[in-house]
Amino acid sequence: MIIDCFDAAALSEAFGIDMRSVDGLGTGAAWGRVAPGGASTHHRHDETELLVIVAGRGELVVGAERHPVASGTVALFEPFEAHVVENTGDQDLVFLTQYWRDSARAVSSATPVTSEHGDRPVFVFSTPPTPNGDLHLGHLSGPYLGADAYVRFQRMNGASIWHLTGSDDFQSYVVDCARREGRSNAEVAAHYSAEIAETLRLMDIPLDQYTVTNADPGYVPALKDFFTRLVDSDAIVPTDGPALFDPKTGQYLYEVDVHGGCPGCGEATGGNICEKCGEPNTVVDLADPVAKPSGEAPIAGTARRYVLPLHEHADTVLGHHRRGRVPARLRELAARLFRRERVDIPVSHPSDWGITPHEADGAGQVIWVWPEMAFGFLHGIQKLGERLGRDWTAAEPADDWKIVHFFGYDNSFYHAILYPVLYQLALPGWTPDIDYHVNEFFLYDGLKFSTSRRHAIWGKQILDADSVDAVRYFLARNRPEAERTNFTLDAYEHTLVTTLIGTWQAWLNDLGQRVADHYDGVAPDAGNWTPEHAGFLGQLAARLGALTASLRPGGFSLNQAAAELDALVADALRFSRRERALAQAGGMPDEVRTATALELAAAALLAHGAAPVMPRFAARLAEALGQPAPDQWPSTVELIPPGSKVTLTQTTFFRPTSRSLS
């Protein structure tokens, strides 16, 4: 036998608390002690873990839920369940833990049958676009399509989830655009903000909240209050620091008004953020800077701004990154950035376009638009809550909120590093739980899509009721998820003509023709099953599993989802061709109707599986199969009810492009 007693003197530090392993129990095992007021670090693992509290009391924090525990409590953590053990009492909390690997249980945890968000409200944000132009396919393929498909999939799985964005009116790009167009900043912002909303509608991206920062009456005072909380935290301080000015106009230079070599990677970059390496710059650290107004070398001077010494908050960022889905690319950016000795970030700038702080020290400055956005997200949630009758407030965000951000890599620093620190400073009682989904740049004919240079295919050029599903499919398949990808009109046309019309539609129309010819246009019931029939059913189930995995938060990839949809059609076509000869020979009708029922099941699975990516197509396909529009994600592959009216022959799902796009 084994007898092992808790010995406070034999512990050593692990997972942020004191632990000692116990050997020989047949599973991993350890004693643990959490001091009063202490807590283990937030973590998740593949082992199943059993915890027995033997002394003290505290709370187990699992996801957003807190469970009180005391001596005599037993708890079990499923694989990957994020958990923290907190001591809320005044004496040591002592526990014994046992943990073991159970692969089947781990796989089951990784593939839940409903939304992994449970009952929590989920707020999905696509980056608020800058109203200095309309949206092009580069924008649409990135955060907007990503967020929309994510929300649609989660809704089908029962999540309480909303898509929020807005118009980021106080960007300096708006000022730059207004100069070029000879209009006021506010006119430019209002004009393009409305255009953007319309383009999202054309892309079948409905929004639950669209905050227009320059037009929302409650926004300005609430933002100023948020900024005051930052000032009151004493973490941001008005500081006279080095700055650049235009030698001719004397204008203070930042963002679009200055460019030079990035101090991080050396690439050409604009002020404040490098699109290539993702690191911030302070403008004065640019190599060979050029002032945009005059086109000449800037002159150095001094400006007073509120400055955040971000390097002092590296632990806040690290702790935050333990909680949610934070892609390795973002963790790497944080690790790289915090290798710098100092990272001083001005959070206000001298400008007359933006919102001036309450504070006297803020005179002549505006709250920088990027810190502003950190508040804007919370404000959007509050506004949404007002319409839904929920008491969500920006001043008191709740720990059960799940926030999900979709953005391009050049916004990584702001979203995943700066904002968690601002939240910690302004709202110290809140533990934000945020997932991040990041995309790279989309190129158009080999060059970056660019609003300011007008190098783009605009959403309105290509989107209409006939093209929207094809555009969404093509962008899903080719959007730059892991690396830069290139858009060409030729490739789009090729996919439309050969894949969507030449393969998908051809198969669906042909299937409809066979149902019309042999079964009077209604779905036959399956009869006798051959081993190949059962094999195909298994193949469809595997395809559903792969498609599901590509839409879940952990493995979210529209590249993969679109590839799975296409592969599902390819599977069905191969099966159809193999079975065709028997049908033509006129023999074995019980087996032939099984094959037809299975092809219809494949089409119904396509209708459900395509709903997040191609909602219009999905609804029309379901209708052509005599089925209601797909609103629940399937947990298995089902035959459509025998007798369902099938109108696949008469339905046109995709049409060739009718207008000139170049």
Residues in contact with Zn ion by CB under 5 A are 262, 264-265, 274, 276-277
- Least Å distance, CB 273 to Zn ion, is 9
Nearer to Zn ion, 409 or 487 (CB): 409
CB of 336 to Zn ion, least distance (A): 10
Tell me the residue type at 239: T
**Which CB, 200 or 286, lies closer to Zn ion?**
286
Helix (H) / strand (E) element for 342: namely: none
Q: How far is the CB of 462 from Zn ion (least distance, A)?
A: 32
User: In the complex, what is the shortest distance from the CB of residue 263 to Zn ion, in angstroms, rounded to a whole number?
Assistant: 8
Question: Based on CB atoms, which residue is closest to Zn ion, 274 or 573?
Answer: 274
Q: How far apart are CB 275 and Zn ion at their closest, in Å?
A: 8
**Looking at beta carbons only, is 75 or 290 nearer to Zn ion?**
290
Q: How far apart are CA 168 and CA 132, in angstroms?
A: 10
Rounded to the nearest whole angstrom, what is the least distance from the CB of residue 276 to Zn ion in the complex?
5
Cβ neighbours of 22 (radius 10 Å) = 17
Residue closer to Zn ion (CB basis): 290 or 588? 290
Tokens of 145: 């399509």
- Nearest CB to Zn ion, comparing residues 96 and 286: 286
In angstroms, give the least distance from the CB of 207 to Zn ion: 32
Quick one: 262 or 619, whose CB is closer to Zn ion?
262
Structure-token pair, residue 502 = 């030449």
Alpha carbon distances (Å) from 116 to 93, 119, 121, 343, 455: 30, 9, 12, 36, 40
**Which long-range contacts (C-beta less than 8 Å, at least 24 apart) are formed by 258-261?**
258/283, 258/286, 258/289, 258/290, 258/291, 258/292, 258/298, 259/286, 259/289, 259/290, 259/292, 260/286, 260/287, 260/288, 260/289, 260/290, 261/286, 261/287, 261/288
The CB-of-286 to Zn ion minimum distance in angstroms stands at: 10
Q: Is 551:612 a contact under the CB 8 Å cutoff? A: yes
* Shorter beta-carbon distance to Zn ion: residue 264 or 521: 264
> What would you report as the CA-atom Rg of the chain, rounded to the nearest whole angstrom?
28
Task: For 419-450, give one letter per residue: b (16+ CB within 10 A) or e.
Answer: bbbbbbbbbeeebbbbbbbbbbbbbbeeeebe
- Diameter of the chain measured on Cα atoms: 90
* Residue 112 · residue 81 · CB < 8 Å: no
Cα 196 to Cα 202, 209, 210, 269, 460: the distances in Å are 10, 14, 11, 26, 10
| CA 116/CA 234 separation, integer angstroms | 38
Closest CB to Zn ion among residues 74, 265: 265
- Distance in Å, CB of 412 to Zn ion, minimum: 12
| DSSP track, 225-270 | HHHHHHHHTTSSEEEEEEEEE-TTT--B--GGGEEEE-TTT--EEE
Write down the least CB distance from residue 370 to Zn ion, Å. 17
CA distance readout (Å), 299 to 33, 249, 253: 59, 11, 10
Residue among 274 and 572 whose Cβ is closer to Zn ion: 274
The DSSP 8-state label assigned to residue 43 in this structure reads B
Look at residues 601, 355, 562, 573 and name the one whose alpha carbon lies nearest to residue 469. Answer: 562
Residue 344 vs 623, nearer CB to Zn ion: 344
* Per-position DSSP letters for 490-528, written without gaps between them: HHHHHIIIIIIIIIIIHHHHHHHHHHHHHHTTBPPPP--
Query: How many residues are listed for the chain in this entry?
Result: 662
Cβ 137 to Zn ion shortest distance, Å: 25
Which residue, 151 or 262, has its beta carbon nearer to Zn ion?
A: 262
Question: Smallest distance, Å, CB 261 to Zn ion?
Answer: 9
